[in-house]
Amino acid sequence: MGKLINTFKTKRTAIIVYVVTVIVSALLLYAGNRYVYDSESMFQGGYEDGACSARVTEILSSRSDDVIVDNTVIGKEFIILFDCKILSGEHKGETVMASESGTPYDTVPLEKVKVGDRILLTHSEDQNAAVEWLMYEFDRTMPLWILGIAFCAVVLLFGRMKGVNTLISLGYTCVAVFAVFVPSVLSGKNIYLWSIITCIYIIIMTLLIIDGLHKKTLAAIIGCSSGVIVSGLLTLLVSHFLHLTGITTEDTIYIKQSFNIDLNALIFAGIILGSVGAVMDVSVSISSSLAELHDKVEHPTYKGLLGSGITIGRDIMGTMANTLVLAYIGCELSATLLSVVYSSSMRTLFSREKIVEELLQALVGSIGLLLTIPLTAAVSSALYMGVDHFSKAARQKRRKKNPERDKYYVEPSSEPSLFESVGDEKTDGGEEK
C-alpha cells in the first residue's frame, strides 16, 4: 500500500512539473516577444505586402520570343496571360486576369504556370498597365503543410506520449527562434546575449518537457549549456584571428546596409544555434546511460561512472561530429561548389571567407560537442553518487568493506566469454575437451 501511494505521489509530481513547464515556457515566449518586438512588423517587405493566394483556372495566351544580342540568341523571353481565382485577401472569391513574364536576365527564373497551380499575386505598380495582377511566386505553403502534418503523424505514431512532448518542444523552439530571436536581431538588440538566452531556453524547456525533472535532466542541462557556452567563447576567440567580416553573399551586404546588423554576431549566433541540437543529443545520451548504470549496477562508483560516460561519449562523438560538418556543408553546397571552381589552389580555397565560415561553424561546433562529453559525464556521475559518496567516512567504509570494489562496477563474471565457449570448452576436471 505504501509503495502504491509513493508511486501515485511521484506521478502526480511529474504531471505538476510537466504542466508548469509547458505554461511557464509559453509565458516566457510571450514576454520575450513583447520585449523585443519592434513597433513595425517583422515582415517589412513592401512588395509582398499585397500578395494574395490564387489558383490558375485557365491559360488565355502564351507567347515566347528569342532574345538576340550581337546576332546571338542568349535565351527566350515569354509572357503568359491567364485567369485565376483569388483565394485570400480582400478580393477573395473573385476571378481575375493575371500575367507571368520572364527574360534570360532574371536572376531566379520562374517555372511557367499551368492550370491548377496555386500562386501568389500582387498588384501591378504601373497604373496604366494592361494587366492589373502579376504573378509574384508559386504558393508553396500547401505542400509544406501536408509534409508537416505527415511528420507530426509519424512522430505521434511511433512516439505516442513522447511524440506529443517532442512536438510541443519543437513548436516552442520554432517560436523562440522566429518570434523572439529574429525580432530581437531586427530591432537592434544585442545578438550575442539573445542568442545565448534563446539557446539556454531551448535546452531547459526541451529537456524538462521530454524527460521531466530528474537528476539526469539536470545533468544534461548543465553539460549541454556548458558545451554551448564553450562553443560561443571559442567562436569569439577564433573569429578575431581569422579576420572575418561576415560579408560573404549579396544577402549579407543587403543586411549590413539596410539594418546595420553586426555580421560577426550573426556568425556567432549561427554557430551556437546550429550546434545546440547535436550537443543536447549527446548530453542526454550520456546522462541517461549513466543513470541506467547507476540504478542497475550493484556497487557503482564515481570513477566507474565517469569512465563509462567518457567511453560512451567516444562511441557517439564520431557520428555527431559528422552530423554537424555535413549539415553545415549541405546547407551551403552551392556556395561551396562556386568557391571550389573559382579557386586556383587549396590555399586560395581555404582563405575564402565563405569556406572559412563554414569550416569555423563545423569545427567549433564539433569541439563544443566533444567538450560536452566529459562535462556531462562528470556532472552526471557526481549527481548520481551524491554528496555522501565523496565524504571521507564513506570512502573509508568502502575500502574497509572491500579494498578492490572501487575499481569495478560488478564482480568479474565466472562464465566464459563467447570466444572461450567456442574453442576452449573444458571438461568438469578442468582440462580441455
pLDDT in tens, 262-289: 888 888 888 888 888 888 888 988 998 8
Q: Which amino acid is at 30?
A: Y
Asked whether residue 6 carries a pLDDT value surpassing 70, the answer given is no
**Domain assignment present for 64:** yes
Cα–Cα dist 76/290, whole Å: 65
Average pLDDT over residues 98-103: 86
The cell numbers describing 317, all together, are 562523438
Average pLDDT over residues 368-372: 86
At 330-343, the pLDDT tens digits run: 777 777 787 777 77
The backbone torsions φ and ψ at residue 51, rounded to the nearest 5 degrees and listed phi first, read -70, 140
Residues 233 and 106 in one domain: no
pLDDT band at residue 126, thresholds of 50, 70 and 90?
low
Residues 92 and 195 in one domain: no
Residues 317 and 248 in one domain: yes
| Last residue of one domain, picked from the residues 88, 114, 142 | 142
Q: Coil, strand or helix: which one is 92?
A: coil
The H or E element spanning position 65 is: strand 52-69
Q: Give the pLDDT score at 342.
A: 75
395: closest CA among 331, 302, 322, 326?
302
Share of residues in the chain with pLDDT > 90 (%): 18
Cα–Cα dist 262/188, whole Å: 9
Q: Give the pLDDT score at 391.
A: 59
At 31-80, the pLDDT tens digits run: 998 888 754 445 554 444 468 889 999 998 888 887 777 777 777 788 88
Q: Give the pLDDT score at 428.
A: 46
Q: Mean pLDDT in the chain?
A: 79
Q: Give the pLDDT score at 23.
A: 93
Asked whether residue 425 carries a pLDDT value surpassing 60, the answer given is no
- Domain limits at 85? 52-142
Residues 219 and 340 in one domain: yes
Residues 65 and 208 in one domain: no
Quickly list H helices, 332-388.
333-341, 346-349, 353-385
Q: Give the pLDDT score at 295.
A: 85
**Domain assignment present for 413:** no
Average pLDDT over residues 169-185: 92
**Domain assignment present for 337:** yes
Average pLDDT over residues 378-390: 78
**Domain assignment present for 128:** yes
For every residue of 219-268, DSSP letters joined together read: HHHHHHHHHHHHHHHHHHHHHHHHT--S--SHHHHHHHHHH---HHHHHH
Asked whether residue 174 carries a pLDDT value surpassing 90, the answer given is yes
Instruction: Report the CATH number that the domain containing residue 63 is assigned in CATH.
Output: 2.40.50
Cα–Cα dist 324/369, whole Å: 9
- Let me know: does 224 contact 372? Beta carbons within 8 Å: yes
The cell numbers describing 308, all together, are 563509462
**78-87, 136-145, 342-351, 418-427: lowest mean pLDDT where?**
418-427
Q: Give the pLDDT score at 2.
A: 55
- pTM for the full model? 0.76
Determine how β-strand 118-123 pairs with β-strand 52-69.
antiparallel
DSSP 352: S
Residues 203 and 130 in one domain: no
Residues 332 and 204 in one domain: yes
Structurally, the chain folds into a number of domains equal to 2
- CA 141 remoteness from chain centre: 21
Cα–Cα dist 325/333, whole Å: 12
pLDDT band at residue 28, thresholds of 50, 70 and 90?
very high
**Domain assignment present for 37:** no
Cα–Cα dist 321/372, whole Å: 12
Residues 305 and 382 in one domain: yes
Distances (CA, A) of 174 to 144, 159, 171, 181, 328: 15, 20, 5, 10, 19
Cα–Cα dist 219/197, whole Å: 19
Exposed / middle / buried, residue 262 (Cβ in 10 Å: 0-12, 13-18, 19+)? middle
Positive or negative: CA dihedral 383, 388, 392, 394? negative
